[in-house]
Each structure stands twice: as C-alpha cells, then as structure tokens.
Structure 1
C-alpha cells in the first residue's frame, strides 16, 4: 500500500498564470518581467485557511478581498491551505477567484484531499471506495486525480439495498449519482465478489450511518471483499487481537476537523465528527482494538510539508517571472480561525528547510472571542486584513496595507 509523501516538483501540474475576470474592487494585472519584486518581499509568504478566514458560508468576509488584493498587487506570495474540499482544485480556484477578486490557480491552492494525488501510482488499477461530499462529486475528483475504479457507498446500496436496512431514506438522493459496480456483490462466492483495496474519506460524509456501516464491514472483512468476515478478528494470539490483520483495505481521512465555521452562529461538526463516531463504533465492536488509519490535513505535518513545497514552487515561479531574487523562504504567516488545526499545525511544524511558520488567529470563524484558544497563536487579530497588516509590519514592509 502506498504512503503519503511530500510532493516533488513533477507532482504539481504546470498550468500558466492566466488573468481571470475580477471583481470591481480589484484591478487586473499580469505577472510580467517588468515588475520588480523588492528584496524585502522575497523572504516571506502567507498561507490562508478559507472557511472562517476568507469566506463564511460561501460569502467573502469583510476585508478578505482587500487583503488578498494587497498581496497580489505587491507580489507577495501566498497559498490557500484549507481542510475543505469536495470539488476538484480547478473548480474551487475558479469559484474563489470570482468571489475574492484575485486570480488564483491550482499552483497556489491546497485543499484537504490534494495530497491524495500522490497515492494514484500504487492504486491506479485497484478498486477504491470514496465517501463524502455532494452526490458523486468526490468520485469525479478521484477520477481526475487518476484513480480508474472508484466506487461510492451509493453505488453499493443501490445494488444491494439489504446492506443497510434504512436504505429507503436516501434512495432518491443516490439514484441520480450512482453507477453499476465494477464487480457484483456475491455473498456465496467471495472470489467473484466486489473487493475494495482502499477507503478514502475525501470530504465530510452526508450519510454518516451508511458510510459507517460500509467502512466497518470492510474493516472486518477478509481481504477487503464486501460481505465477508475475517476469521482472524478477535484472535488474541495475533497482533491487535487479529483486527485489521487480514488484508483489509487501508483507511484514509482527508482532515481531522471536529468543527468548522458555517452561516450558523455556532461551529458545526465536520469530518472529525464522523471520525469520532466511526471510532466509537469500532471501539464497541472490537473491545477497544487500535484502529489503523492515515489522517492528513491540518494540523498534521505531512500536509504542512506538502504545502511548503507547493508554496516554494509557486513562489519561485512568481518571483522569477518578476525578476526578483528567489532566495530562502524564511517565514510563512499561517492565518487561520481554528486553534486545533491552523494554529496547532503551524506551531508544531518543523520545516526541513528552516522556514519559520508563524500562526495568526482571526476571530471570524471557529474561534470564539473571549475564550482561551487550545493552542496559543503568535497573535490574535480581528480579521484577515488585520492579520496581513500585522505580518507585513513584522517584516518591516515599507508599503501600506489598507
């Protein structure tokens, strides 16, 4: 089974910077060699969370378009680093560019499941289960990444309704986005039944009950064949009492966020809530055996390593196009609203290149003003525009962030 690693330059798709149609509050401009980048800019950059920092329920937070326009117009590199997802990167950057009035590309955008691209090589011809997101959007993302055989829980329940006794509740929802299974579910002949080689939770699941049942079935199966049960389960003579010791599919989660900021005045449960629910069911089923899985997304170091490599590549391309000096990236300002993911991740991350990650917490999302953050940021500010002003002042920037 493949493992997640930091990206190489070859793993990032080379797409040219194009000028997009921008909102009236910012002007269009191109990266051109005639624009010179001051040396004071070249050593620092920004990483921004999206939900609760730049957007809230898909609407720009006041000051967010101005903050990004300032950085863009002064050639200060930045990336968007989000635990969100559910759509392909190309679709997301098109939407965000329009909403925020600044041209974005896949080259300065990392969402929770972007690092899954690295796993295609080992699973390209295997069958994977993808859960989460609206309809089969995450299936389509996985296919654009290069996975060839992608199954969803909806595909399974539409072919085998008995797998979940309350199947009628979501049946109309699933009908519009399901496909025939690559191999039928055959309970009497496992050798010719559907086999799942890996499970990916790409985005927040919509139907927790069905997703929990199918993932649990696969974790208890023999060799990932749906409808089977491993005879090793519960065997005290084996490691982990036999649980997940019989070729079961590896389980991947794209982010651990328990809560996220929506239009509601209180934070709502995210993918981390689903993970906690699945963990509880697993514990009750196995009497507390370890649940082997891989979790990426903020605050995990693998995601910050990936993001730093993306930022380095984007920064070199941008500054080089302007004739600026592309030296060491000394500092990245991580601006986020979630102490558990954004702030904790930036505080804990140890860059292999000596880059300092400085955490800035804003009050426009998950963090509630007047409470004590679980992980202490370098500074707490009102919003993202104030965060940019503080950061450029720290760098001795002689321009003016307004």
Structure 2
C-alpha cells in the first residue's frame, strides 16, 4: 500500500514538472523575437507575451472580461473578424455567456439600451444594457444632486435625451443655447425646423456615437419617439414636463439666465461643433452660469462657480483612417487653455474627468460583473471582504493611456491586455509608458491568453 502511494506521488511530481516545462517553453516562445514581431507560426498562430506574473488573490475563481469597442472590436463601421471569433469563444452554442462580460468604452452619445442592440447585431451575440458602460454611464450617480438644477450638456448624438433618461429634468444642449442667442456664435449655423438637416449632421463620424433612427427607436426613457431628424439636429426637442414641445429652454424657461444660472456643464461626448461649444462653455464658466454676464458681474453678486465634467480624457482614438484622430481629451485641452487665456492663467474651480483611466467606470464594471456571475450560476469561492471572487478581470483595450493605465490603476484582479488593432501600433510589442500585463495582436488572441492564464492559475490553486 505504501509502495502504491509512493508511486502515485512520483507520478504526480512528474506530471507537474512536465506541465511547468511546457508552460515555460510556451511563454518563452511567445516572447521570442519572431512572436514579438507579430509573425504567426504554425504552432502558435497568435503568440502572446506574458509581461508580468499574473498573481491572483482568488486563483480558483472564474475569469471576467471587459472589452473596449473602438479599435478592439470595430474600426469605424467595420467589425474586426477577430471580434467575432472572440465572442464565439466566450459563448455557448445556444448563445449563453460562459463568463461575465462588460463592454466599457469612452464613446457614447446613445443610451445603453441602444448601444446594447447595436453590439448584439454587429457581434452576433446577445448583449444586454447591463453589460454596457459608456463614457457617460457613471454620470447617473450625479442625478441625485443635479436632477432639479439647470444643466448644460455638450456632445454629438442623442445626449440630451440620454441626460433626460438618467433623470436630469432641467437640461439644455449647447445647440439650444447657441440657437437662442445666435450672436454668441456667429460662425455656427442653426437650421430652422423647415430647413433640411445638413449631411454633416446626419452622418456622425466619431467613436461609438450614432443618431437615433427617424422613428426615435432606442432613444431611451427621456422621450424622442416619433421626432424627425430635423428636430434632433436643430435642438427643437420636446421638454418633458413643461407642456409644450416647442418651448425654448432659454427664452421661454429662463435657463442659463440670472434667474436660473447653469449649475453644471456635462460634456457627454465629443462635440459636433468645437467652436460653438468651446465658446459657449467658456461664456458659461466665466459668467458663473450666465453666458451674457461678465466675470466682474458674476463676482459682484458672489455667484457660485460652475462645475465642468468631461466624460472621458481620450486625446486620441482610432477609426478607419490610418492615423489616430483627436478625441474629447483634445477638446478638453482646448477649453481649459482658452479659459486660462481669458482669466490670466486660472483653471476652472471644479473640473472632473470621467471615463477610462479614471476609477468610476471600473468600480461600476466590478458591480455589474459580480451580478452577472451570480446570474450565470458560476461557482464563486468564498473571499474576504473587499476581494472580488474572480481569478482575473481581463481588460482588453487598444489605448495604453486609457485602457492599460486604467486597468493597471484599478488593481487586483484587473489584468490589462493591450491589442494592436487600434491606437497602439508600436514600436515594440508593448507600450513603454503604460505597460500592459499581457500584449497580443488582437482580441481573439486576448481571449486565448486570458483563458490560458485562467486554466494555469486554477490548476496551480488545486495542487
């Protein structure tokens, strides 16, 4: 009996040694110059490099995934074939998710329901609104404070109705503000209800932003069903709760006046008219909520400062164009620089950035992923308070300054995974400034790497 037990121990040690040797060879081959150059081999069509040892506080837990969208799953209007392959790896034959998944993007401009529908159609999987985190989704937490206060929103897409669907009740768009006083933005145009919507307005070019269809489908709880494209583009949007669909929020309701000064400016997506929005936002900031008021006049009455919130700090993003494009971070730099020039080098008193790499979307993602794990019936190990029961949350992104930095700062069990199909194109296999823990060619390779590390950690936890 003792001999049999001793033989079993020798066999287990031999298997352990063999598996460790194979794993080491695999990682070394992934880090070889051939793999680093991104060249496929017959043995490893998608080689990946493990940059740091992936120590998990909960190695026996299931994996979870967070996917950026632009530059990872799509480029502009083109769905990357590797994205479809990745989704197949994460779903069963009947379309159920194997693991918790969220789609976390610094884009926006539509409600979460509409984005979930779009992703479902394009990726061929069922995506629910609870799996979608847009750049402005964490702004829901501001509603308790801002629900009844005058709020100015900026951005392309249907951001006005998105803000209303979140619960903001006294909200107006920069387009409405500019249209109420056209002399404030003499180089911008504001079509009337009877004018045709310009083609530039109908076609929205930018990260994860699209206008609702003419029937208003998916516009969200904030209204919009049945509105024409002209209404959406011109700013003649129904003001729920005020009884008339043609009331001007400035001239008729007095928003952005001394009676009802703007409390907060929310830049929810990249604006469609940077000149108009930069001008009006600076007017509102220097006038303490009233664009027609001077800074001296605001100071004389002791008016409180306006809060300024940007939904993301992305300087660059990737679409079909071969070079990266300026994002909302570039617009923010412009606004803050202009404000500084106007005020002798000052910075607005209250400036907040949401979106990756800031912590708000990561904390929200953790709550959503944990809820999904329960709903999927996954066996979750018991963990101490404050520890998530995942072996890893693999954050797949293309932008080192946003996706990688954010996941690295989020801490365990987040694992940053960098792909080369978007903003990051080298040089090298990884970013020298914001270094990902795993660097791969594309999102399918990212899923392969994550599942490989999950199996490895689970095996080690059972030894």
TM-score band, normalised by the shorter chain?
A: 0.7 to 0.9
In the alignment, is the contact (CA less than 8 A) between 1:41 and 1:76 conserved in 2?
no
In the alignment, is the contact (CA less than 8 A) between 1:42 and 1:319 conserved in 2?
no
* Structure 2 counterpart of 1:307, from 360, 365, 385: 365
1:139-288 matched pairs, under 5 angstroms? 139-168=160-189, 176-177=231-232, 178-179=235-236, 180-184=247-251, 191-192=258-259, 195-222=261-288, 224-231=289-296, 246-288=303-345
Distance 1:186 1:148, change over 3 A: closer
**1:100, CA displacement in angstroms?**
0.2
How many aligned positions are there? 341
CA distance in 2, matches of 1:164, 1:182: 18
CA RMSD of aligned residues (A): 2.8
State whether structure 2 residue 110 is matched by structure 1 residue 51: no
In the alignment, is the contact (CA less than 8 A) between 1:185 and 1:227 conserved in 2?
no
Corresponding residue of 1:388: 447
**1:186, CA displacement in angstroms?**
11
Provide the TM-score with structure 2 as the length reference: 0.68
Distance 1:162 1:380, change over 3 A: same
Distance 1:234 1:339, change over 3 A: farther
CA distance in 2, matches of 1:234, 1:209: 26
**1:94, CA displacement in angstroms?**
0.3
Distance 1:228 1:299, change over 3 A: same
Secondary structure of the structure 2 residue equivalent to 1:72: coil
Corresponding residue of 2:405: 344
Larger Rg: 2
Q: Deviations over 1:178-235 (max 9, x none)?
A: 1343342899x9544x52121111101110011011110111114x123112328899
Provide the TM-score with structure 1 as the length reference: 0.78
In the alignment, is the contact (CA less than 8 A) between 1:299 and 1:344 conserved in 2?
yes
